[in-house]
Amino acid sequence: MTTSTRSQTRRGTADIELETRIDALLAALTVEEKVGQLHLAFDLDPEDHREEIAAGLVGAGIYSHGANDVRETPPAPLAGTIAACQRIAREESRLGIPLLFGSDVVHGMRTTLPIPLGLAATWDTELVREAAARAAAEASAEGLHLTFAPMVDISAEHRWGRIGETLGGEPQLTSRMGAALVHGFQSDGRFGATAKHFVGYGLVDADRDQQTLSIGPNALHNVHLRPFRAAVEAGCRAIMVGLHDVDAIPMHAHRRLIRDLLKREWGFTGVVTSDWDGIGQLVDQGIAEDLRDAARQAMLAGVDLDMVSGAYRDHLPELVAAGDVELWMLDDAVRRVLRLKFRAGLFDAGADPAGAPAPLPVRRDTMLARRAAAASMVLLKNADILPLHSNLGVIHLCGPFVEDAGGLLGSWVYEHGEDTVTPADALAAQLDPDELIISDGRFADLAVRHADAADVTVALVGEHPSRSGEDRCLPTAELPVGQLELLRELASLGKPLVVVVAAARPLELRPVLQLADAVLLIWHPGAEAGPTLADVLLGHAAPTGRLPMSLPQTNRTPALGTIERTIGRRLGRSRDTSFGRYLNSLVNPELTLGFGLTYTSFAYSDLELSRAHLPMRAGVVRASVEVVNTGFRPGREVVQLYLRDLVADIVRPQLELADWRAIELDPGRSTRVTFKITPDLFAYTDRELRRRIDPGAVDVIIGPNAALGSSARLLLG
């Protein structure tokens, strides 16, 4: 027997053992207790909820402060509360089934890391996996078993408040980054990840949360389902359904997508959880008469866990008794929840009966936070000013964030930034006092005076995290009020101006790019924002991020991804001279997906295909390009592979990201970067909903971003 067959057999035996143990529990549970396993309650407290827990009427708990609210209400330390609830469940409930605890650990817990859009901007799956593994270790130490992350919704909408929680606007990038997060969160084999919000939530109408969306089979299968499929293939333990409706069917009642597709067709064996009160919301959405009816519809659709609505707890026993919900459906949902608990190690022999958490990794992982922050920062423009030279003279640092400890942390945070070094302090620590002038955000006129006295101004502007997150949508997405005026004043002094933009969305930055000598987009970088920024400004670290979605040129246009489909009527070569433009506004992205400069430069040449014909059956063509570091510093370059299918059964995207490779090169050095092209890279779902690869001509494009690259034609067949 080979090693891999032996380990498969071992896994198979373990799975059978696990299912047998679940069978035994299912046989012992009453219907009420079964339903209890499906109730996910919020803020479980050992005093307030003692009876419920002891009676087995609750199976899981969520502690959620919501994105943003943490600044007003600090989240209480969880470990003690969780341990006390766990003791009641284990020792006082009839069967002693432990509780499962989840929270939104989205970008770190003790170590606040860059927001997800920033993590996606690293284009570094290994770093992202490491970041998630750290977050999971910190969450496990609090007694948690599950995070409600990653969010793998795809959106090209910069006005949507939750775009900063996404991994960008491109299915391949989102799929890879999402899978990396799943692998990282789940790397200890116990802690679980939840991919959300199944499915299409990023496409919400009018860019506002929890709305309706119109989506056809192409967008569903070829775009929005893809990262969920990747998450399932990565072994994701849970999937959360969204609060929106998909073409008038609320997701919490969408049997075809949940029970038929996700569970049956894809074979997903994990837990499908509702979103916050999502089952109760079916009544407000006008498809359920009351909570009982909502519980029935959600159960039939395949939602296993009821997050906070209480619909299952209050109505499922009676629905089962009346035959409106079949017992096998209830049992299947309970089995999934118990499976998750087993996998979380909650039933392990030797598990602490009090459920006491492991010792806390007390210290923040500073180095990881800094690495991730620098890797997420995208240098959008640099007219030879960054990194700031030591002989530049006096640096003036200004803007609302320079002395704010919490403003650069992001939305889903478990800290307030008390022990965070501000950008002002971080820069001051590296410069002589007479080399630095600080003006905080309070007086714009003072900032202008200081700028006049200095040799270079670094303006740190952008959005406070409270401007992003749930229910934080904007009709237009420019810089917050007053900031552009300040930048105009600063630029009018004629001295070098570096603009650093903190944001949880791809803001409209065209005017900033015109005014400034350098522009650095830092997203919300997390707890080490200040020191990382100081290092990057002074050249001790390089910004290496790439845009995870395009930057819009104007406010009125979405930040298009590459998922834009080819159109029929073209009058000119560029999109601005073709149909589909505005009369009085631009539609092209300002900067496209994949764009990002660094402190050196690279040149591409000599695109080569190993052969011009790619056989449909197991064919492989190697596409390669020569890349040289043409600058004066070592640097990291993200070489990107895009594809275009020229003739297909349905209208295909103008360009699709297929793969990328990061390389590090010393100045003057070059290397040949090779991609393996296989027919499956061209697979898509056709009009009959079948997977398909078309024979015929395709273009292979390799370059530093979606707008720039050389292309070669390949014949598939």
The residues binding ligand BGC (CB under 6 A) are 64, 104, 148, 196, 275-276, 470
Identify the CA nearest to 521 among candidates 498, 539, 540.
498
Burial of 529 per CB tally in 10 Å (0-12, 13-18, 19+): buried
**Could you tell me the smallest distance in angstroms from the CB atom of residue 576 to ligand BGC?**
37
3-state percent breakdown (helix, strand, coil) of the chain, nearest 5: 35, 20, 45
**Could you tell me the smallest distance in angstroms from the CB atom of residue 153 to ligand BGC?**
10
Query: Radius of gyration over alpha carbons of the chain, in Å?
Result: 26
How many angstroms separate the CA atoms of 333 and 34, rounded? 9
Instruction: Please say which residue, 234 or 238, places its beta carbon nearer to ligand BGC.
Output: 238
The number of CA neighbours under 13 Å toward the Cβ of 604 is 21
Tokens of 133: 């593994």
**Could you tell me the smallest distance in angstroms from the CB atom of residue 628 to ligand BGC?**
44
Tokens of 551: 């930057």
**Could you tell me the smallest distance in angstroms from the CB atom of residue 308 to ligand BGC?**
9
Neighbour count for residue 323 (Cβ, 10 Å) = 8
Identify the CA nearest to 286 among candidates 196, 212, 220, 216.
212
Identify the CA nearest to 543 among candidates 464, 472, 612, 635.
635
Instruction: Please say which residue, 146 or 639, places its beta carbon nearer to ligand BGC.
Output: 146
**Could you tell me the smallest distance in angstroms from the CB atom of residue 152 to ligand BGC?**
12
> Tokens 């469940």 sit at which residue?
89
How many angstroms separate the CA atoms of 336 and 341, rounded? 9
Instruction: Please say which residue, 104 or 293, places its beta carbon nearer to ligand BGC.
Output: 104
CA angle (397 as vertex; 396, 402 as ends), nearest 5 = 160
Write the CB contacts of 316 (distance below 8 Å, at least 6 apart in sequence): 31, 35, 38, 295, 299, 325, 330
Report which residue type is found at 216.
G
How many angstroms separate the CA atoms of 269 and 340, rounded? 9
Contact between residue 534 and residue 423 where contact means Cβ atoms under 8 Å apart: yes
DSSP 8-state secondary structure symbol assigned to residue 578? S
C-alpha distances in Å from residue 377, one per residue of 30, 109, 444, 595: 54, 21, 26, 12
Instruction: Please say which residue, 202 or 355, places its beta carbon nearer to ligand BGC.
Output: 202
**Could you tell me the smallest distance in angstroms from the CB atom of residue 303 to ligand BGC?**
14
Contact between residue 511 and residue 552 where contact means Cβ atoms under 8 Å apart: no
**Could you tell me the smallest distance in angstroms from the CB atom of residue 243 to ligand BGC?**
6
**Could you tell me the smallest distance in angstroms from the CB atom of residue 344 to ligand BGC?**
18
Contact between residue 534 and residue 387 where contact means Cβ atoms under 8 Å apart: no
Contact between residue 504 and residue 463 where contact means Cβ atoms under 8 Å apart: yes
How many Å separate Cα 368 from the centre of its chain?
A: 18
Instruction: Please say which residue, 337 or 373, places its beta carbon nearer to ligand BGC.
Output: 337
How many angstroms separate the CA atoms of 160 and 242, rounded? 15
**Could you tell me the smallest distance in angstroms from the CB atom of residue 55 to ligand BGC?**
25
Instruction: Please say which residue, 243 or 665, places its beta carbon nearer to ligand BGC.
Output: 243
Instruction: Please say which residue, 276 or 684, places its beta carbon nearer to ligand BGC.
Output: 276
**Could you tell me the smallest distance in angstroms from the CB atom of residue 465 to ligand BGC?**
16
Query: Measured at CB, which residue is nearest to ligand BGC?
Result: 64
How many angstroms separate the CA atoms of 40 and 367, rounded? 36
Instruction: Please say which residue, 151 or 507, places its beta carbon nearer to ligand BGC.
Output: 151
CA angle (357 as vertex; 19, 42 as ends), nearest 5 = 75
Contact between residue 539 and residue 388 where contact means Cβ atoms under 8 Å apart: yes
**Could you tell me the smallest distance in angstroms from the CB atom of residue 467 to ligand BGC?**
18
**Could you tell me the smallest distance in angstroms from the CB atom of residue 276 to ligand BGC?**
4
How many angstroms separate the CA atoms of 197 and 218, rounded? 18
Q: Give bridge partners of residue 675 from the DSSP assignment.
A: 623
> Tokens 């803020």 sit at which residue?
43
Instruction: Please say which residue, 56 or 410, places its beta carbon nearer to ligand BGC.
Output: 410
Report which residue type is found at 450.
H
**Could you tell me the smallest distance in angstroms from the CB atom of residue 412 to ligand BGC?**
9
Instruction: Please say which residue, 196 or 636, places its beta carbon nearer to ligand BGC.
Output: 196
Instruction: Please say which residue, 404 or 470, places its beta carbon nearer to ligand BGC.
Output: 470
Identify the CA nearest to 537 among candidates 335, 387, 658.
387
Instruction: Please say which residue, 193 or 702, places its beta carbon nearer to ligand BGC.
Output: 193
Instruction: Please say which residue, 274 or 532, places its beta carbon nearer to ligand BGC.
Output: 274
C-alpha distances in Å from residue 485, one per residue of 397, 437, 481: 17, 21, 8
**Could you tell me the smallest distance in angstroms from the CB atom of residue 281 to ligand BGC?**
10
Instruction: Please say which residue, 155 or 420, places its beta carbon nearer to ligand BGC.
Output: 155
Q: Is the dihedral of CA 261, 265, 266, 269 positive or negative?
A: positive
Instruction: Please say which residue, 470 or 528, places its beta carbon nearer to ligand BGC.
Output: 470
Contact between residue 678 and residue 634 where contact means Cβ atoms under 8 Å apart: no
**Could you tell me the smallest distance in angstroms from the CB atom of residue 148 to ligand BGC?**
4
**Could you tell me the smallest distance in angstroms from the CB atom of residue 52 to ligand BGC?**
20
DSSP 8-state secondary structure symbol assigned to residue 181? H
**Could you tell me the smallest distance in angstroms from the CB atom of residue 671 to ligand BGC?**
41
Q: Report strand pairing: 696-705 vs 635-645.
A: antiparallel
Instruction: Please say which residue, 116 or 543, places its beta carbon nearer to ligand BGC.
Output: 116
Q: What is the dihedral of CA 379, 383, 386, 392, to 10 degrees?
A: -160
How many angstroms separate the CA atoms of 129 and 178, rounded? 9
Instruction: Please say which residue, 75 or 217, places its beta carbon nearer to ligand BGC.
Output: 75
